[in-house]
Chain A
Amino acid sequence: MKLKLTTLALGAVMAAGPVMADLVFPSLSYRTGPYAAGGIPFADGYADYFTLLNERDGGIGGVMTKLIECETGYNTEKGVECYESTKGEGALVYQPLSTGITYQLIPKVTADNIPLHTMGYGRTSAANGEVFSNVFNYPANYWNGASGVVNYLLESNGGDLKGKKIALVYHNSAYGKEPIRTLEELSAKHGFELLALPVDHPGQEQKSQWLQIRRERPDFVTMWGWGVMNQVAIQEAANIRFPMENFIGVWWSGAEHDVMSAGDAADGYKALTFHNVGRDFPVFHHIQKYVVDTGKAAGAGDQIGTVLYNRGMYAAMLAAEAAKTAQGIHGTADINAAMMRDGMEALEINEAKMADLGMPNFGPSFNVSCENHGGPGLVGVTQWDASSKTWSLISDFKPTDGDVIGALVAEDSGAYAAENKITPNCN
């Protein structure tokens, strides 16, 4: 018995002893609840890319990565619990995939000096790195998205939107409300009329909103939806025979599961994106070889190559590249969260790097700097083809209205800085 206890104790010590600490990447995922349809592919992509790095390259810079998954259910209280329970493990970067949780975490990560990467969601004005030192939202944010929709419509309407009516169907939460300010500014600038229609959580009930659309006959409908709300909206649009070509969702409203349920009626539906779609990239062969065939794929393994899987993988890629950059800056493979922050701020993504990683032309090239945590804000448009069940990129990544967005970012981040007594500073 005594021997047993000693062995046990020894075993415990050996297990706990830090031979070489792993690089910890917490994944605040949601595989349950009304938003699980979007949460699962993202979490799978995020996890699989780190598994790939471990299996193929032996981690990042020789240090293995470790993914800690924590289920938030898209719920802020559980998100806080997840944050608190994982931050002690040496978490390098948080990506909660929820605007609500992001708002909770912004002050917390700043106090704890851990970076937060909210790729294409979260608080848009965090693009101003002088105020939001630990928050990053490259390569694109909601206001780029709003401007991207308007730019695309301008382009397809000969540069003139005067007298047109654009309806915004949005999730009635911080997430859905984000683009309104920008769209209002843009409607003043380009002379179109904006009709904002909120949909309450979780979004299964949208009859009245679509009835209103039928009555008001907007020329275009854009959507800030997530989870079950997307499917319902596309189905409702099909029910009122709204032309799908004139219906453009943000990047969170444009995945396979959103359009599948409406069947052929969803053909022609468009959605924004800030990265490429499909599985026609060398990296997927690697994932097949090192992750799927070895039985290490996350979740059910049936999401590979879907839009949100690609986005999760892209997020993981950007995190891994930032970690590499941090290792280079600080000259140590064993980085901590503060070093990771420096790495993210010095991140450079270019075509050669992406091609090296097996992801040629997967996303835009960009550099992050202390002043600009938001990246270039290049937005592309994808379209759904219901017969071949694929998304394809129909408009390449193009710049958005920097003047309007820059002014709004400066205004909103300035208000935040004043409220929280932050002196904007970059040194």
Chain B
Amino acid sequence: MFYREAGDFKTSYEQDSQTFPIKFDRFRYYAVLAIAFLVVPFVINDYWANAILLPFLIYAIAAIGLNILVGYAGQVSLGTGGFMAVGAYACYKFMTMMPEVSMFVHVLLAGGMTAIVCVVFGLPSLRIKGFYLAVATLAAQFFLVWLFNRVPWFYNYSASGQISAPERDVFGILITGPNAPAWATYMFSLIFLTLCALVARNLTRGTIGRSWMAIRDMDIAAEIIGVNPLKAKLTAFAVSGFFIGISGALFFSVYLGAVEVGEAFGITKSFLVLFMVIIGGLGSIFGSFAGAAFLVLLPVVLKVVGVDVLGWPTDIVAHFQLVIVGALIIVFLIVEPHGLAQLWRVAKEKLRLWPFPH
């Protein structure tokens, strides 16, 4: 009834090929943006920012990055944690080497650095695929964590091997450090997420994205019709690395403020982001958002319901959390292997026909 193409006339190619061709979708998108940018910053408090919104925004960027690599280009990666660590440590080094530069620049540079590292570790993808590539990226994960633990230059020779974010600002507004206001950290991450999502969406609709998908679907066929696998695979690694690096930099500087590489960027982080992509939906930008929201919010919701509402002991709730998240992952893989994004797609198809399904 509300959700249909009828009556929504397109008079130019631009209009026809826009991201949200259906009017209702488009307005919903504008409404979400308006709420996120104009309403949330005024009502946000420390708890919402640090416990829910920041992790969601930052994991969403990481999930978009990984989705480009795994979902669009079909290159399985288990190195996300290591690449996020590259972003975090690069950001830390830039922050301490050039304290006067705006935080925006630091984060972008950290993303760029991660892109380079990611391309280097992506080189084996030209020769190997599937499980073997997964193992190669797993090696990247362990190597990078080991490197940041082993070489004191990366953590400025601090006694504990921890890196802590000093106070840095953007146009005089503190973004990192304990005195940064909640709205500023939220807006900073939100701006990055919005930019990343826009870039990712448009890349995946264009030539590069199509070449990624061609490689994913059948690399030999893609090569025969003229897709350069070297270029396609390495650009996928570069773009993915850029996004993951940004998320790692934000994760360290804006969200946690101090990290320890083994604990914050271990193999569990790689799996967490991979689960987000799988649950959210491979090859879908919306899926990255949905997956990140699902895995960030679920533990918090379970904790609030279990401990605060029902008054159960904290350890029982923590164990239940593992059981429930694990069970949900299995259920999702069986019932809806294409993830939350596919559920959304089906819901939209149904809505389009509603209320006259025949």
**Using a CB–CB distance below 8 Å, which chain A residues touch chain B?**
29, 31-32, 36, 40, 69-71, 73, 75-78, 80-81, 84-85, 87-88, 99-100, 103-104, 106-108, 110-112, 123-125, 172-175, 177-178, 180-181, 198, 200-201, 299, 412, 415, 419-421
Contact = CB atoms under 8 A, between A and B. Distances in A.
Contacts of A32: 315, 318-319, 322
Contacts of A125: 159
Contacts of A419: 164, 166
Given A104-B257, A172-B149, A177-B160, A81 B51 contact: yes
Interface stretch (B202-210, B240-248, B262-270, B274-282): B262-270
Nearest to A31: B315
Given A173-B263, A201-B262, A412-B159, A31 B314 contact: yes
A76 B263 contact: yes
12 contacts: A70-B307, A70-B314, A71-B307, A75-B263, A78-B299, A84-B46, A84-B51, A100-B260, A107-B177, A111-B179, A173-B263, A178-B160
Interface string B142-184: 0000000100000000111110101100000000011100000
B318 A76 contact: no
A31 B318 contact: yes
Interface string B335-349: 000000000000000
Given A108-B257, A172-B149, A80 B50 contact: yes
A31 B321 CA distance: 13
Contact of A178 (B51, B159, B319): B159
Given A32-B318, A70-B314, A111-B179, A84 B160 contact: no
Contacts of B257: 104, 107-108
Contacts of B319: 32
A309 to B, nearest CB: 16
B256 interface: yes
A108 B49 CA distance: 14
A390 B263 CA distance: 33
Nearest to B46: A84
Contact of B262 (A71, A200, A299): A200
Given A84-B47, A174-B162, A107 B260 contact: no
B260 A174 contact: yes
Given A71-B318, A107-B164, A173 B260 contact: yes
B317 interface: yes
Nearest to B54: A80
Interface residues of B, number: 38
Given A32-B319, A85-B51, A103-B162, 9 more contacts: A32-B322, A76-B259, A76-B264, A78-B299, A87-B46, A103-B164, A107-B178, A173-B161, A419-B166
Contacts of A69: 314
Contacts of B46: 84, 87
A201 B258 CA distance: 18
B51 A104 contact: no
A412 to B, nearest CB: 6
The 8 closest A-B pairs by CB, nearest first: A31-B315, A111-B178, A107-B178, A174-B160, A71-B314, A81-B51, A32-B318, A103-B258
A110 B159 CA distance: 21
Contacts of A173: 161, 260, 262-263
B122 interface: no
A201 B266 contact: yes
B191 to A, nearest CB: 22
A99 B299 CA distance: 23
A97 to B, nearest CB: 14
A100 B318 CA distance: 20
A73 B303 CA distance: 13
Contact of A73 (B47, B50, B262, B318): B318
Given A31-B314, A201-B266, A88 B47 contact: yes
B60 to A, nearest CB: 15
Given A84-B51, A420-B166, A174 B314 contact: no
B328 interface: no
Interface string B305-319: 001000001110111
B300 interface: yes
Contacts of B264: 76-77
A87 B164 CA distance: 22
Contacts of A180: 159
Nearest to A33: B318
B314 A29 contact: yes
Contacts of B313: 31, 299
A143 to B, nearest CB: 10
Contacts of A201: 262-263, 266
A84 B263 contact: no
Interface in B81-99: none
Contacts of A174: 160-162, 260
Interface in B34-78: 46-47, 50-51, 55
Contacts of A104: 256-258
A415 B179 CA distance: 20
A103 B160 contact: yes
A75 B259 CA distance: 11
Nearest to B258: A103
Nearest to B304: A85
Most buried by A among B166, B255, B262, B300: B262
Contact of A123 (B50, B160, B161): B160
Contacts of A87: 46
Contacts of A172: 149, 262
Nearest to B166: A419
Most buried by B among A99, A107, A124: A107
Contacts of A198: 149
B250 to A, nearest CB: 13
Contacts of A299: 313, 315
Contacts of B177: 107, 420
Given A173-B262, A420-B167, A80 B256 contact: yes
